[in-house]
């Protein structure tokens, strides 16, 4: 197989070729590494390429849904035994995971061949992927712009065509934001759908969700089939789907879709993004769905403070543990300015402060729960602005406090974090394209347990309004295909 043919297939398509004996995992890896050689010097999406990969894959995975498919893991939360896990930070340099986490086991069982690690912002707390440790990761659609964060390295690699699917996670939008910036499918499953253990009971007090980024809806659905379900001892156990997500699912008639382009924080939304949301609302209405412009209420000030406190407490916890593991000190030589401010704020918080944040998040979840008894879907922009310029969200250039950094991070992405709080599934679909050619996403959220509804609607929209599969920079595509 040559690179040109490799780029024509999604993950399921490549796996089918492997099972049919038309191509080997080693040949697919060669294509992925060739693409990485062309793209990575420009986009800086890979922290590390693994030199000792077993290209035969797992013996039990020979007939798996993603047998032999090249894959990358995000350098945050997920543990791959014997591999470095540094969280995009100088503080974590050299840390090695002792064993596979539950999700990594399932990725292996799905047949994926992991070729390396992708870049992240420090501790994952940024809507851009730029660090002192690794530099700036760039968007394949426009190298002057960010791929988003915190799964920015994974998103850039998938958008460039290096791999068809890559690991990602989401504590405030970190799957959906880079999916929007890079023109990808980004599903944040509901709380409890994908395991995060055994090293943690949950991520970020329930905000953090593990999954992947893909280019096609069918890869997204098949991957959810491959990894869904609680791990042993997980605190959240969610009912399994009635039928596989990868099957063609009928969307109920009379689907009730609410939508809004008004962020609860009151920040401005780019006119092109507003226009795309309105166009999608008209499209859905033309398909016979009940479409209404309405949204639940949310106290944006209390939400921002609670988010600041909860993130700060958990990052302080991580930093304390990393310092104990490495013998390093948490200071300006090991942490970026904004991260240091967040860490220090976390140390100052009391247990009561954290419980007050959780109390408020409970109220938000109840209010949104009532809203979703009357509506099946809430549609919003995924982000408020087109992909931002490199440096706009660098965490080293200002004198940030924990709260001012939180406001800065979520200023451009005001629609995503609330669904981490409620635990509901939400997906970003690349339904928008600016006049300058930049992709952006529309977000759809559903009730607890209704990933099936989101994927069915996504598949229908993908069929009606297909999107480009890889970044279409003609100069690079010419080089790659030759």
Enzyme catalytic residues: 74, 150, 174
Q: What is the DSSP string of 202-246?
A: SBGGGTBEEEEEESSHHHHHHHHHHH-SPPTT-S---PPPSS-TT
Inter-residue contact 322 to 91 (CB < 8 Å): yes
In 407-448, DSSP assigns E strands to: 426-433, 439-446
Q: Give whole-number Cα distances, 66 to 14, 114, 348, 366, 459, in Å.
A: 8, 12, 46, 38, 19
Cα distances from 115 to residues 64, 196, 435, in angstroms, run 18, 21, 35
Give kind and range of the element (H or E) at residue 170.
strand 165-170
Helices (H) and strands (E) in the chain, counts: 15, 13
Strands 256-259 and 290-293: parallel
Look at phi and psi of residue 84 and say left if phi exceeds 0, alpha if psi is from -120 to 50, else beta: beta
Task: Give SS3 for 347.
Answer: helix
CA 329 to chain centre: 30
Measure the CA–CA gap between 64 and 219, rounded to whole angstroms.
Answer: 13
Spatial contact of 330 and 91, defined as CB atoms under 8 Å apart? yes
For 281, counting Cβ atoms within 10 Å of its Cβ (0-12 exposed, 13-18 middle, 19+ buried), the class is: buried
Q: The dihedral of CA 284, 286, 288, 292: what is its sign?
A: positive
Contact 167, 71 (CB under 8 A): yes
Maximum alpha-carbon separation in the chain = 61
What is the C-alpha to C-alpha distance for residues 450 and 442, in angstroms, rounded to an integer? 18
Residue 31 burial by CB count (10 A; 0-12/13-18/19+): exposed, middle or buried?
buried
Strand-pairing partners, residue 165, are 214
Nearest to 131 by CA among 79, 75, 83: 75
């Amino acid at each position: 197989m040559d690179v040109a043919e490799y780029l024509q297939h999604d993950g399921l398509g490549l796996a089918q070729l492997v099972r049919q004996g038309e191509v080997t995992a080693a040949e697919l890896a060669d294509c992925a590494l060739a693409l990485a050689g062309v793209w990575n010097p420009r986009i800086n999406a890979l922290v590390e390429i693994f030199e000792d990969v077993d290209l035969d894959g797992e013996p039990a995975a020979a007939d798996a849904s993603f047998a032999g498919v090249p894959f990358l893991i995000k350098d945050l939360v997920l543990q791959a035994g014997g591999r470095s896990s540094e969280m995009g930070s100088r503080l974590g340099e050299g840390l090695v995971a002792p064993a596979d986490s539950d999700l990594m086991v399932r990725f292996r069982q799905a047949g994926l061949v992991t070729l390396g690690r992708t870049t992240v912002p420090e501790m994952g707390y940024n809507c851009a992927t730029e660090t002192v440790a690794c530099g700036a990761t760039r968007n394949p659609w426009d190298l002057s712009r960010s791929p988003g964060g915190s799964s920015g390295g994974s998103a850039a690699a998938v958008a460039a065509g290096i791999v068809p699917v890559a690991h990602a996670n989401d504590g405030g939008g970190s799957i959906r934001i880079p999916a929007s910036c890079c023109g990808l499918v980004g599903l944040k499953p509901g709380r409890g759908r994908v395991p995060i253990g055994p090293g943690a009971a949950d991520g970020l007090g329930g905000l953090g969700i593990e999954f992947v980024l893909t280019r096609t809806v069918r890869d997204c659905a098949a991957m959810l089939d491959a990894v869904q379900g609680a791990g042993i001892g997980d605190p959240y156990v969610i009912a399994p789907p009635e039928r596989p997500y990868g099957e063609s699912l009928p969307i109920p008639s009379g689907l009730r879709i609410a939508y809004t382009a008004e962020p609860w924080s009151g920040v401005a939304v780019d006119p092109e993004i507003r226009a795309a949301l309105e166009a999608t609302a008209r499209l859905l209405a033309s398909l016979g769905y009940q479409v209404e412009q309405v949204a639940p209420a949310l106290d944006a000030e209390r939400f921002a403070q609670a988010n600041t406190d909860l993130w700060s407490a958990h990052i302080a916890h991580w930093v304390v543990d990393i310092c104990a593991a490495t013998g390093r000190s948490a200071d300006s030589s090991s942490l970026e300015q904004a991260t240091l401010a967040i860490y220090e704020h976390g140390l100052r918080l009391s247990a009561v402060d954290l419980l007050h944040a959780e109390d408020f998040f409970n109220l938000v979840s109840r209010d949104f729960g009532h809203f979703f008894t009357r509506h099946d879907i809430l549609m919003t922009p995924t982000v408020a602005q087109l992909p931002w310029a490199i440096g706009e969200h660098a965490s080293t250039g200002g004198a940030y406090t924990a709260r001012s950094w939180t406001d800065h991070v979520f200023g451009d992405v005001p629609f995503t974090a609330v669904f981490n709080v409620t635990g509901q599934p939400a997906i970003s679909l690349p339904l928008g394209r600016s006049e300058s050619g930049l992709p952006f996403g529309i977000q759809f959220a559903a009730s607890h347990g209704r990933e099936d509804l989101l994927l069915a609607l996504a598949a229908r929209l993908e069929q009606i309004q297909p999107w480009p599969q890889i970044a279409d920079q003609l100069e690079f595509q010419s080089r790659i295909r030759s």
